[in-house]
Amino acid sequence: MTVKKIVRPNPRKVGRPVTVAAERSVTVRLPHSLFDEIDAWAAANKASKSEAFRALLERGLAAPARKPRGMTYADALLPAPRKPKAGK
């Protein structure tokens, strides 16, 4: 009688391999109008969409803070601030 040896395949890693360890992949949901504006900016500046996202994000972070004129898209997603109760 022969003893059967169980052969297990090498476990494979699932997904795309990391190309640069210092970079992270981020998923963002955007309204169609904003995505179209970013796409147009990328075409006008001969950049890929990824490059356009990075460049516009860096510009936005480098810009000085200013008082918002009205409600932004991000403000609409945030809960309204709580008002303090009277007497406390």
Residue 43 in domain: yes
The label of the residue with tokens 């955007």 reads 30
Number of domain units in the chain: 1
Residue 54 in domain: yes
Residue 75 in domain: no
Encode pLDDT of 15-66 as tens digits. Answer: 777 666 667 778 889 999 999 999 999 999 999 999 999 999 999 888 877 6
User: What pLDDT shows up at residue 32?
Assistant: 92
Q: What's the alpha-carbon Rg for the chain, to the nearest Å?
A: 24
**pTM beyond 0.75:** no
Here the tokens at position 82 are 């709580």
Residue 76 in domain: no
Residue 47 in domain: yes
Residue 53 in domain: yes
CA-CA distance, 45 to 62, in Å (whole number)? 19
User: Domain range for residue 54?
Assistant: 33-60
